Amino acid sequence: MGKLIVSLSPHAHGTDSVEKNMFGVVIALIPAILVSFFYFGLGSVVVLLSSVAFCMFFEWAITKYMLKREPTLTDGSAIVTGLLLGMNLPSNLPVWIIIIGALVAIGVGKMTFGGLGNNPFNPALVGRCVLLVSFPAQMTSWPMAGQLTSYLDAQTGATPLAIMKQAIKSGDVSILDKLPSATQLLLGSNPTLGLGTIGEVCALALLLGLAFLLWKKIITWHIPVSIIATVLVFSGLLHLVNPIYANPLSEILSGGLMLGAIFMATDYVTSPMTHKGQLIYGIAIGFLTVVIRNWGSYPEGMSFAILIMNAFTPIINLSTKPKRFGEVMKK
Amino acid sequence: MKLHTFKIGGIHPEENKITAEVKTRNAALPKVAIFPLGQHIGAPAKPVVKRGDVVKVGTLIAEAGGFVSAPIYSSVSGTVAKIDTRIDATGYRKPVIIINVEGDEWEDSIDRSEKLESLAEHPELTPENISDIIKKSGITGMGGAGFPTFIKLCPPPTAKAECVIINGVECEPYITSDYRLMMEHAEEVIVGLQLLMKAAKVERGYIGIEENKPEAIKLLTQLTADDSRIEIVALAQKYPQGGEKQLVDAVINRQVPAPPAIPVNVGAIVQNVGTAYAVYQMVMKHKPLFERYTTVTGKKLKNPGNYLVRMGTTFAELIHACGGMPEGDNKVLAGGPMMGKSVMSLDVPVTKGTNSITILSGDEAHRKSVQPCIRCGKCVDVCPMGLEPYLLATLSANKLYERLEKEDVTSCMSCGSCQFTCPSHRPILDNILQGKGVVMGMIKARNVKK
Ligand code: SF4
Ligand code: SF4
């Protein structure tokens, strides 16, 4: 007879794992990745591949040589960070800038805090925002559609968000006529404009990803829905008051809002634990996004809004306890 | 149809009810029977026999050792070999009475006929009467915790019982002993419920059963059709619905507040199926509690099954009857995989609370490697008590016991849902239990000072 194994209960475990969640996110990103190949061609391949490769490299090198720990590449989190960083970059970004982005994302965003699970800010967004303030020119030149073969010498143009901003600044409503229609934004076919970051080009592909994440129970609806709904309502009100503010559908379908709401804000580590907290967090992100987009100095608001709310996550966790059993009735 | 269930948290572990359709067999008489004196919450029982005494099946061998305590009856006939200490299923050494088995002679007072007695035939049974008999019977809750049954029937003056809820949920994976009991002795279980209702002076009775036991739901619904006071409640399948508070929530939609509140504070008295059956046996057949339905199960076990077991029989004998221990390393549980205790030795005996012996093979039993908490909140989501398991575990690990108490660690019912669900396979419950132990100690010390 073999040994008797003794341990505390429970003696059964579900099938969930960190890897499953991480690779679930990767799978959910596939539609958006494929669409990006279609619109950006080689540029998208170069940016995504180098971002993933360097994030993995830095994760491996830092854990092994600086922290002297077992490298933790297999949990899939470096791949996710790499992909998400890549999705947040323009498709014509030079590789040396991407390397800096990956180093900042993994090295500063993740490892200085102790690695997976301990970072207060979303590493991919830390990478992106540092690049955005360090290399504003390169980070805001947006290639236009149909650039299948060109990478560095792509033709660039303004994004829908830049147009919205321009309209507000100049007070000229007619500028908004240049905006693509909602259907175009949904599908990503706005050939006259710059397409923005790799991941924000097609809202529909991102929504497919959302469906997958919800289906596999990797995330719940609370964060994406509260962000999207808040932006819809808030920008809708602004639009009603003054048509200089773009219509709410364009707001939610452009500028990486879906990418942020579905893939960035829902990052487990940096978002609140309870559903109540997640709703507060989502509403705040939606609100801040609209504020920054309309009145801030960057046309993009999503990334900054998420980073700002990341900082509030611990406080939200403290103030949104789940209802204890027995308190359920006394609301 | 919308099935009832409890409101917060819960998980769906793999069912593995491999013995559900295996008819209950009588387990062989043991050669030696071991009776731990502490088989229930509260003071251990006090032996009333000594070495060399001859006992029959049903002879009182230990009396209640205090108010919260229960007597113990012999399940075998033979000679008391010694009063000693032995390791029981909890892993601690406890006082026991050991009886060498000789023949199978029963106390004459026990009615061994199969005839079904109904409450209508026994007008002489008053509520006080029934409570008294139950107190003498040694019946305790038979799902594991082992709370003496009669105490639940006399609620504190501040609370008033309104209904009796029979727990036929059996939400733990693998275990099927309650299900078999409901299928094979449904009538007795119902009379047991009626007796409990009479003893508690209530006019409402419920039997809560999960939807994965449709046959039991059907059978009991038919059999209770003529008693309008009793309702069979079909429940959605969700662990830990068998937890008292969850069951009360699911069946009558009332939430028991935090301790020290107990179900009767919201009007409910919860009893197990096995308890109802034992009550029938004692009140109607004068048969005290000395045997019970136990499932012996495991994926690798040759002949898993359900057994009517004389208490005091060792796990080893029952496992032997099922074809012996599977090859290799195994984990043997007293109970199911969610809340069962893994035993250190197969010589531990079946007691009043042993609803199952579950054998997990080494690869099922080994824990997966632990990863950092990714703060996914899934443990918070599934906690049926509305706690924050990740936080409790961290506070415990960092020995921040005052905070831990503020975060209601004492409400943790050890259901293990948090640890089951954690994608990082963190030992959440291990940590919580350690911290809870310290906090309970702190509270006790404070109360003593007062
Ligand atoms: S074991 Fe305790 S903390 Fe974990 S889910 Fe159950 S009640 Fe909640
Ligand atoms: S389920 Fe595990 S990983 Fe997720 S928050 Fe709880 S402890 Fe952390």
Over residues A48-80, the pLDDT tens digits come to 999 999 999 999 999 988 888 887 788 899 999
**Chain A: closest CA distance from residue B258 (Å):** 6
For residue A184, the model assigns a pLDDT of 81
pLDDT band at A331 (very low <50, low <70, confident <90, very high): very low
CA B167 to chain centre: 10
| Cis-peptide into B260, omega within 30 deg | yes
Do the strands B305-310 and A142-143 form a parallel or antiparallel pair, or are they unpaired? unpaired
The answer to whether A314 faces chain B, any CB pair under 8 Å, is: no
Rounded CA separation A179/A177 (Å): 5
| Distance from the alpha carbon of residue A117 to the mean position of ligand 2, in angstroms | 10
Residue A114, Cβ density class (10 Å: 0-12 exposed, 13-18 middle, ≥19 buried)? exposed
Which three-class secondary structure state does DSSP give residue A143? Answer: strand
Residue having the nearest C-alpha atom to atom 8 of ligand 1: B383
Q: Annotated binding site of B for [4Fe-4S] cluster, which residues?
A: 373, 376, 379, 383, 412, 415, 418, 422
Rounded CA separation A257/A250 (Å): 10
Hey, what's the torsion of the CAs at B84, B41, B419, A209, to 10 degrees?
150
- Asked if residue A139 has pLDDT above 80, the reply is yes
CB B384 within 8 A of CB A325: yes
pLDDT band at A328 (very low <50, low <70, confident <90, very high): low
The answer to whether A133 faces chain B, any CB pair under 8 Å, is: no
What pTM was computed for the model? 0.91
Question: Which chain A residue has the Cα nearest residue B410?
Answer: A324
Rounded CA separation A107/A93 (Å): 20
The answer to whether A74 faces chain B, any CB pair under 8 Å, is: no
SS3 for chain B is: CCCECCCCCCECCCCCCCCCCCCCEECCCCCEEEEECCCCCCCCCEECCCCCCEECECCEEEECCCCCCCCEECCCCEEEEEEEEEECCCCCEEEEEEEEECCCCECCCCCCCCCCCCHHHCCCCCHHHHHHHHHHHCCECCCCCCCEHHHHHCCCCCCCCCEEEEECCCCCCCCCHHHHHHHHCHHHHHHHHHHHHHHHCCCEEEEEEECCCHHHHHHHHHHCCCCCCEEEEEECCCECCCCHHHHHHHHHCCCCCCCCCCHHHHCEEEEEHHHHHHHHHHHHHCCCCCEEEEEEECCCCCCCEEEEEECCCEHHHHHHHCCCCCCCCEEEEEECCCCCEECCCCCCECCCCCCEEEEEEHHHHCCCCCCCCCCCCHHHHHCCCCCCHHHHHHHHHCCCHHHHHHCCHHHCCCCCHHHHHCCCCCCHHHHHHHHHHHHHHHHHHHHHHC
Cα separations (Å) of B366 from B173, B203, B304, B362, B414? 17, 48, 22, 6, 20
Rounded CA separation B184/B153 (Å): 26
pLDDT band at A258 (very low <50, low <70, confident <90, very high): very high
Lowest mean pLDDT: which of A243-252, B163-172, B297-306? A243-252
Tens digits of residue pLDDT in B302-344? 999 999 999 999 999 999 999 999 998 999 999 999 999 999 9
Which residues, 6+ apart, have CB-to-CB distance to B235 below 8 Å?
B3, B4, B5, B169, B208, B209, B210, B211, B241, B250, B251
- Asked if residue A187 has pLDDT above 90, the reply is no
Q: Annotated binding site of B, which residues?
A: 373, 376, 379, 383, 412, 415, 418, 422
pLDDT band at A152 (very low <50, low <70, confident <90, very high): low
Q: Which ligand is nearest to the CA of B426?
A: 2
Which residue did the predictor score with more confidence, A20 or B142?
A: A20
Q: Which two tokens stand for residue B349?
A: 């005996």
The rounded mean pLDDT for chain B is 92
Tens digits of residue pLDDT in B386-422? 999 999 999 999 999 999 999 999 999 999 999 999 9
Ligand 1, residues B415, B422, B432: which to mutate, most atoms within 8 A of Cβ? B415
| Distance from the alpha carbon of residue A25 to the mean position of ligand 2, in angstroms | 17
Which residues, 6+ apart, have CB-to-CB distance to A14 below 8 Å?
B11, B13, B420, B421
The ipTM value here is 0.90
**Chain A: closest CA distance from residue B387 (Å):** 6
Q: Which two tokens stand for residue A186?
A: 């949904």
Residue with tokens 């062989």: B28
